[in-house]
Structure 1
Amino acid sequence: MKRFKLVFFLGLLVCSQYVFAQNKQRLTQNWEYLKGDLGGIWEAVRPVKEGNPESVPLWEKVNLPHCFNALDGVDPDVNYYQGPGWYRTLLDLKNPYTEGRSLLHFEGAGQKTQVYIYDKKVAEHVGGYDEWTADITDAVNAFKKTEAFQKQFKGRVPLSIRCDNSRDLEMIPSSLSDFNVYGGLYRYLNLVYTPKVAIDKIFAAASVDAKGSLGKLNISGRLLNPEGIDTVSLKIEVKDPEGKTLGSWENQMKAFNGDKTLWETSVKNPRLWSPENPVLYTVQTTVTARGTTHVHTEKIGFRNFEFVKKGPFMLNGKRLLLRGTHRHEDHAGVAAAMTEGMIRQEMQMMKDMGVNFIRLGHYQQSRIVLDLCDSLGILVWEEIPWCRGGLGGEVYKEQGRRMLTNMIEQHYNHASVIIWGLGNENDWPGDFNEFDEQKIRTFMKELNDLSHKLDPSRKTAIRRCDFCKDIVDVYSPSIWAGWYRGIYTEYKEASKKEFERVDHFLHVEWGGDSHAGRHSESPDKALSVVQTGVGTDERDGDASLFGGSARVSKDGDWSESYIVNLIDWHLKEQENMPWLTGAAYWPFKDFSTPVRPDNPVPYMNQKGVVERDFTKKEAYYVFQSYWTKTPMVHIYGHSWPVRWGDAGEQKMVKVYSNCAEAELFLNGKSMGKKKRNSQSYPAAGLKWMVKYQPGKNEIKVVATAKDGKTVSDEIVQEYQTAKWDKPARLVLEKLSEKDNIAVIQVKLLDKNNILCLDARSYITFGLTGDGKLIDDQGTSSGSRKVQLYNGRAVISVDLNKGKSVASVKADGLPSAFVEL
């Protein structure tokens, strides 16, 4: 691995490596935030008399993590904010080490960050996703000698941080990217205390042969030693998953700059890390100098992987079909500022869906995510945010090199990581007046060489840049069968064709959008107008809802019904493609994007199998039925309250299950048993044609696994036989109220008061009075402007223990109101 020396200047250490310390605390409480800029740092720290009405600007109390764009990223009426914002707090510093160092460890902040102690700038960083530290020791010591320390701040130290996510063509990622470039302290910020000499980074290269008989461990390290202390004692211990020490090494040596190889050892017959058994070993490193000790701990795993040339993916000597998805750091109500609890819930939901692989799109993600991938057993493709727009100048390229270096160094020890991604959709121009394919190739090759130099053990990859596909180890082309181009039954043929064009093929990004709660009795209707045999890739303009050739993304109904069919077909085919390395559905969760203002939920990419607030769509259970082993069964239609058709008409009921057999009951009567067969489409053969009775229908299924265990599921659906005319009026009603939160629903009726079940009109909720709409969530039930799903839509209202009047409006229809 190429090593980079630390640079020390003016007593300040700014480095892009993270620190594990014995004394570390998250700085989450007692922050103030100001949207916009200041005239200068003095405005953040000048003495202010409490209650003075002339004190401006006004700061908002917040907790970290915090994102500028927690709500406006999905506000249907504005562009999301891109600009500066300020944070400030007071630090009560109590470093336990004599003459120790005090560090601020940023797990990620967007996108350009400046750090001030009182009125002195002590650090700055460009890049919203890599970790970095700022040594504030000398600035703090200097401030403690001032009169302001005791009188104005009463022994505490003012910390001010400026974040800025302004548009900047010479910064990665491009604002043309199909995701928001968020601003703020949206990942955790830690205060870390270290002694004079500490471990900065340990690189533990764990490898094992395909048979798993001999594991090798090569350990090198890097020190934090700003004062240049010359002699240190080092000790390294390797512990098995139960904490038993397998071996140790210790030595007293001259302190070193840069990186130094410390110890090479072997582990006989190590327990192998895999998605089914993600066992982790521990490397514990202790450094002692001048009577103080610092301990650094890393988790590692032994595994052997291979992308077979023109063949499948192998893990520990056996074929493993990579069953994957994608993740953006984005959530309802907080945007990028997801807490550790939210992240844990999301990753566990993925694992419960059967995922064994994830592509982290399109930037380095939180250390919490990588730790969970290690412990849950999820293989990782992680990439830098060189995404769309073209290639900038030297400042742009230097950021690319730096972000790649930081990503690899910071996540080097994670057993889950198998691929370093170098870019995404780099064939997409727009940011610069020049788009030179050869220059892009040259820089891509530079990044590829840098990645292999930093880490020879992992593969490199890109997605959708055909003129660079020969540079990287693994290539993913654009295949969107049944959405942006073609129909989904072309998937296998299209994949095989692309597989044959490269040595190592992996299909990431497939699927399509679905508006949660919208269902269809004829979901595949749009396929009849789509041209086949012309490719299944995404092309310029295909994501638009207007113009161009017929495509499901434009002409389809965006129903959950269609997407489960598309997913079902893809998963069925993947079961029978022995050459396939794997595929990753795009994405796991709906996320916000500035380039999709006209979607059913404005500014949302709605391709997720769960909504932005973790609400599961029907598609989640289709994946479970193919990918999981714990017995499960799910009747399609839990969010489909009303079906429709003629009296006596046969309707298909689909059941998704991983069990061997299932029996369906309609209104208490058995509709017979069916055997599951993954190649019987749809629903692996678990489908029944039944006749609903008008009105209420009770549907139940009992599924039996091979070991005889049973699981069941049931739903209630209305069956509407009345035919509706054109929409005539809106009706607004309160559905429920609990804990001072009311749920209201709008229905679209015809002149005969019949529900218009295929209505897809945009409606806009409003509210006046004491309460507040719970909107700007980016969900089908948390957006004030939203398309109807089967003639209805809902939203919640915080009543605030008062009275309000809710309204709803739609073009060409009288508005409706309800008192709350």
Structure 2
Amino acid sequence: MNRLIRVIGIVLMVLLAGYQPIRAQQSIRINQGWQFLKQDLGGIWEAVRPGKEGNPESVPLWTKVNLPHCANDKDAVDPDVNYYQGPMWYKTQLDVKNPYEGGRTLLHFEGAGQKTQVYVYTTKVGEHVGGYDEWSVDITEAVALFLKDEKLVREFKGKVPVMVRCDNSRDLEMMPSDLSDFNLYGGLYRYVNLVYQPSLYISSLFATPVVAANSKSATVNVKVHLENPGHLTTAQLSIKLKDPLGREVQKIEKQVQQLNGDINAGDLVVKNPGLWSTGQPVLYTLEATITSGGVTQTTQTRIGFRSFEFVKKGPFLLNGKRLLLRGTHRHEDHAGVAAAMTEDQMREEMIAMKEMGVNFIRLGHYQQSRVILDLCDSLGILVWEEIPWCRGGLGGPVYQEQGKRMLRNMIGQHYNHPSVIIWGLGNENDWPNDFPEFDQQKIRAYMKELHDLSHQLDPSRKTAIRRCDFCKDIVDVYSPSIWAGWYRGVYTEYKEVSKAEFDKVDHFLHVEWGGDSHAGRHSETPDKALQNIKASGTADERAGDASLYGGAARASKDGDWSETYICNLVDWHLKEQETMPWLTGTAQWPFKDFSTPVRPENPVPYMNQKGVVERDLTKKEAYYVFQSYWATRPMVHIYGHSWPVRWGNENEEKMIKVYSNCDEAELFINGQSYGIKKRNSQDFPAAGLRWNLPLKKGSYNVHVMARKGKTVVTDTIRFEYQTEKWAQPAQVSLKKISEENGIVTIEARLYDAKNVQCLDAVNWIRFGLTGDGTLIDNLGTSGGSRLVQLYNGRATIRIQTNGGRSVASAKVDQLPVTFLNL
């Protein structure tokens, strides 16, 4: 039975592309038919009575949108404006048809930023503060009141008008702080559902699985929370547990007279349970049904059986065996949509993480979509999820109660997910703050309140924080600030610094490490800047380290921001982690580049570029370094897929690096073999899969064959080798390099006065366009920003031609502007 269930777990992962999470019955996503206004109104009447469509006197002007939708889909990374923070409105008309006599009609919001008010016609039916937890409003009475007015029913053709006001204005009494290194987005950026419930229904279902020490049996305690607006007096409650094949394992049936609030439904006992793990994420289905007066309501959740332990002064155990947590981070952010990612986009992102070899994720720095947690359950990715107490110090009673409410909601809403092992209580709470007072003792007292509340609500999970040393003794697991080779020191001191921090606490987990890289920028001398950087002995991030000016020498300020350097930094960290038997694990920061208001001068303005993929999920070179250490499927990747021209002297020896998890690899250049190398993870860099070869001016075709057992994988790149030396940039060239489906890609290159390409140029370039076409910009990617730093003396951008004619321009300061007719 155990073996069968493990096989099923693997099958579930393979079929995940078609996976749909279980949802409550009679729940309808209302994605279409919305209108949006990016400003405030004088009152609700302006939303109800905007005037007839097409009337030039009908102001303000609404735009049609689909949900999920973010008000900051483009302006979050617009290089010329601050992102919008203020009120905004959405409106739609719903066809409300509740099938239950005496039932309730709800609007369920999976997340909306950051303060929200909801209206049915002119009646305010609810409001919510907080941009990341789920919440519902009951619109039953307001709908009934509207439908009583026959004139309104005729005017709106039987539809019910619903208006939603969102507001992401700056507010010191709100979590998270506007000092945070991410945007506080506005809008209905997660799904909204129209939910029909009968007059007695289960609003919440809680499952607490406990696995016996020998893993031969498990129990599941089941609690339900009932809502009884119909004031019914008796009901039949049924609880069923089904295995991954849908077969019933255990069942509870009982008569219930207490029909309000929490009910302990009882315990289910399972023999020889299939255990949930990161390699075989076996999921059971728990189904709860309440029946009264012939009306039945059913809700379902998925659960998993597993045990975990952070060994005191030792490693992490999952189901009694050591597991090195190989982690990353996620912000709810994506090119072109900001926070409003669709379920398909989320699935693509999480599968890319799993394929990289990730088995752990810290969700920064707020409760994230239920879709993400469902995917972590199914893919086998352990989770640290946290409330958005991020920077900003400590506010007053309203602020503090909001944090507790967010913690209660996060735990209550994500309690059943087997992937969750840690509830995060805060991030960088030692940061310069929003308030005149910064009292460490008061912060400690509040942290202790959150810690105690978390264990009261959920004794089975751990609490954790990152970077607040004066609170590290309060939480169960602590992560100090260690940025070896980026914000402080050099990456070769990573193990030494980590061990020193490990010794200071009982339970250590290192989250946030890595560094920024400008996609497409590569270097022949990536470690040159390190000559002026001294080992720090601590490698912690300090105030001002993220700045590009002033302070001590550091890679974040003085380095070249090349993918080459970051690959070396990542390579060193990963090879060292294999030699740290006491290590619980780490989480690189972050998986994907994301937008932030506090980094306007980065090579892509307003972007944190520490991701191993770009904001549109385009893989950077570092992605493959992680794969070479973490992935199980055989892979091979030659460094430099986005490096079309290398440079140096004639016959200068250059390194060709190959990243692979295979046992050996053979390199071919222009058809000639240069020998087989054996992989050795401790042979830095590239685990020994590197070839130092003299290069002459010309074209190179580089091919690699890697073997793992009987499996052979290959990769190929092509590049030019330039030996001509360049002087100061003198001219910009602009040409079309491709066109497909009405989208043109143009490339700008920087040359000196003798027409030699300046391959180390990092100048800023601004693209422009006039005519019928449209620049595809404000994406937050190296090829999707109209203002961007060059990468190796070049930059690209795409243009939607719209079937017409346009003139593109490229401007580099101090150089003549260049034009291109399209």
Q: Give TM-score scaled by structure 2 length.
A: 0.97
Work out which of the residue numbers 12, 27, 35 in structure 2 matches 1:24.
Answer: 27
What does 1:115-154 correspond to in 2, within 5 Å?
115-154=118-157
Gaps of 5+ in 1: 1-17
Letter in 2 for 1:743: T
Deviation at 1:527, TM superposition (A): 1.1
Deviation at 1:272, TM superposition (A): 0.4
Work out which of the residue numbers 776, 779, 798 in structure 2 matches 1:777.
Answer: 779
Aligned to 2:415: 412
- The CA distance in 2 between the partners of 1:285 and 1:151, in whole Å, is 41
Work out which of the residue numbers 582, 590, 597 in structure 2 matches 1:579.
Answer: 582
Aligned to 1:786: 788
Alignment of 1:660 with 2:660, yes or no, is no
Work out which of the residue numbers 716, 729, 734 in structure 2 matches 1:714.
Answer: 716
Letter in 2 for 1:772: T
Residues 663 and 672 in structure 1, CA contact (< 8 A), matched pair in contact too: yes
Aligned length: 802
Aligned to 2:800: 798
- The CA distance in 2 between the partners of 1:609 and 1:377, in whole Å, is 20
Q: Deviations over 1:397-439 (max 9, x none)?
A: 1110000000000000000000000000000022001101001
Aligned to 1:86: 89
Instruction: State the secondary structure of the residue aligned to 1:271.
Output: coil
Residues 22 and 300 in structure 2, CA contact (< 8 A), matched pair in contact too: no
Work out which of the residue numbers 229, 234, 237 in structure 2 matches 1:231.
Answer: 234
Alignment of 1:461 with 2:464, yes or no, is yes
- The CA distance in 2 between the partners of 1:20 and 1:755, in whole Å, is 57
Instruction: State the secondary structure of the residue aligned to 1:144.
Output: helix
Instruction: State the secondary structure of the residue aligned to 1:495.
Output: helix
Cα gap change, 1:225 to 1:767, in 2 (>3 Å): same
The Cα RMSD (Å) is 1.0
Alignment of 1:730 with 2:732, yes or no, is yes
- The CA distance in 2 between the partners of 1:49 and 1:757, in whole Å, is 57
- The CA distance in 2 between the partners of 1:470 and 1:494, in whole Å, is 19
- The CA distance in 2 between the partners of 1:19 and 1:532, in whole Å, is 51
Deviation at 1:708, TM superposition (A): 2.2
Runs of 4+ in 1 over 3 A off after TM superposition: none
Which region of structure 1 is more displaced relative to structure 2, 650-659 or 263-272?
263-272
Residues 149 and 156 in structure 1, CA contact (< 8 A), matched pair in contact too: no
Alignment of 1:114 with 2:124, yes or no, is no
Aligned to 2:350: 347
What does 1:629-778 correspond to in 2, within 5 Å?
629-705=632-708, 707-778=709-780
- The CA distance in 2 between the partners of 1:51 and 1:513, in whole Å, is 48
Work out which of the residue numbers 442, 447, 461 in structure 2 matches 1:444.
Answer: 447
Work out which of the residue numbers 135, 158, 161 in structure 1 matches 2:161.
Answer: 158
Instruction: State the secondary structure of the residue aligned to 1:490.
Output: helix
Work out which of the residue numbers 578, 595, 599 in structure 2 matches 1:596.
Answer: 599
Cα gap change, 1:20 to 1:138, in 2 (>3 Å): farther
- The CA distance in 2 between the partners of 1:147 and 1:173, in whole Å, is 45
Letter in 2 for 1:766: G
Letter in 1 for 2:123: K
Residues 419 and 458 in structure 1, CA contact (< 8 A), matched pair in contact too: yes
Aligned to 2:49: 46
Gaps of 5+ in 2: 1-20
Letter in 2 for 1:715: I
- The CA distance in 2 between the partners of 1:485 and 1:373, in whole Å, is 33
Work out which of the residue numbers 423, 426, 430 in structure 1 matches 2:426.
Answer: 423
- The CA distance in 1 between the partners of 2:732 and 2:157, in whole Å, is 60
Work out which of the residue numbers 163, 178, 182 in structure 2 matches 1:179.
Answer: 182
| Identity score, percent | 69
What does 1:180-579 correspond to in 2, within 5 Å?
180-579=183-582
Aligned to 1:11: none
- The CA distance in 2 between the partners of 1:649 and 1:100, in whole Å, is 79
Residues 113 and 189 in structure 2, CA contact (< 8 A), matched pair in contact too: yes
- The CA distance in 1 between the partners of 2:556 and 2:51, in whole Å, is 56
Alignment of 1:69 with 2:72, yes or no, is yes
- The CA distance in 2 between the partners of 1:517 and 1:31, in whole Å, is 39
Residues 98 and 195 in structure 1, CA contact (< 8 A), matched pair in contact too: yes
Letter in 2 for 1:239: K
Instruction: State the secondary structure of the residue aligned to 2:429.
Output: strand
Deviation at 1:20, TM superposition (A): 4.2
Deviation at 1:534, TM superposition (A): 4.2
Letter in 1 for 2:800: D
Q: Deviations over 1:57-92 (max 9, x none)?
A: 110000000000000000001110000000000001
Work out which of the residue numbers 621, 624, 627 in structure 1 matches 2:624.
Answer: 621
Residues 22 and 301 in structure 2, CA contact (< 8 A), matched pair in contact too: no
Instruction: State the secondary structure of the residue aligned to 1:528.
Output: helix
- The CA distance in 2 between the partners of 1:532 and 1:321, in whole Å, is 27
Instruction: State the secondary structure of the residue aligned to 2:279.
Output: coil
Letter in 1 for 2:475: V
Residues 238 and 283 in structure 1, CA contact (< 8 A), matched pair in contact too: yes
Instruction: State the secondary structure of the residue aligned to 1:427.
Output: coil
- The CA distance in 2 between the partners of 1:19 and 1:662, in whole Å, is 45
Deviation at 1:392, TM superposition (A): 0.4
Deviation at 1:232, TM superposition (A): 1.6
Letter in 1 for 2:291: T
Deviation at 1:210, TM superposition (A): 4.1
- The CA distance in 2 between the partners of 1:576 and 1:113, in whole Å, is 50
Letter in 2 for 1:107: E
- The CA distance in 1 between the partners of 2:130 and 2:343, in whole Å, is 21
Instruction: State the secondary structure of the residue aligned to 2:816.
Output: strand
Residues 50 and 60 in structure 2, CA contact (< 8 A), matched pair in contact too: no
- The CA distance in 2 between the partners of 1:533 and 1:57, in whole Å, is 57
- The CA distance in 1 between the partners of 2:191 and 2:48, in whole Å, is 23
- The CA distance in 1 between the partners of 2:85 and 2:491, in whole Å, is 38
Q: Deviations over 1:669-691 (max 9, x none)?
A: 11111000011000000000012
Cα gap change, 1:109 to 1:47, in 2 (>3 Å): closer
Q: Deviations over 1:609-630 (max 9, x none)?
A: 0000010000000000000111
- The CA distance in 2 between the partners of 1:472 and 1:449, in whole Å, is 9
Cα gap change, 1:793 to 1:358, in 2 (>3 Å): same
Deviation at 1:148, TM superposition (A): 4.1
- The CA distance in 1 between the partners of 2:153 and 2:536, in whole Å, is 76
Deviation at 1:265, TM superposition (A): 2.3
Letter in 2 for 1:57: P
Q: Give TM-score scaled by structure 1 length.
A: 0.97
- The CA distance in 2 between the partners of 1:457 and 1:804, in whole Å, is 62
Which region of structure 1 is more displaced relative to structure 2, 93-102 or 118-127?
93-102
Letter in 1 for 2:788: V
- The CA distance in 1 between the partners of 2:738 and 2:529, in whole Å, is 37
Residues 493 and 537 in structure 2, CA contact (< 8 A), matched pair in contact too: no
Instruction: State the secondary structure of the residue aligned to 2:264.
Output: strand
Q: Deviations over 1:185-215 (max 9, x none)?
A: 0000001111111110011001113431221
- The CA distance in 1 between the partners of 2:451 and 2:55, in whole Å, is 58
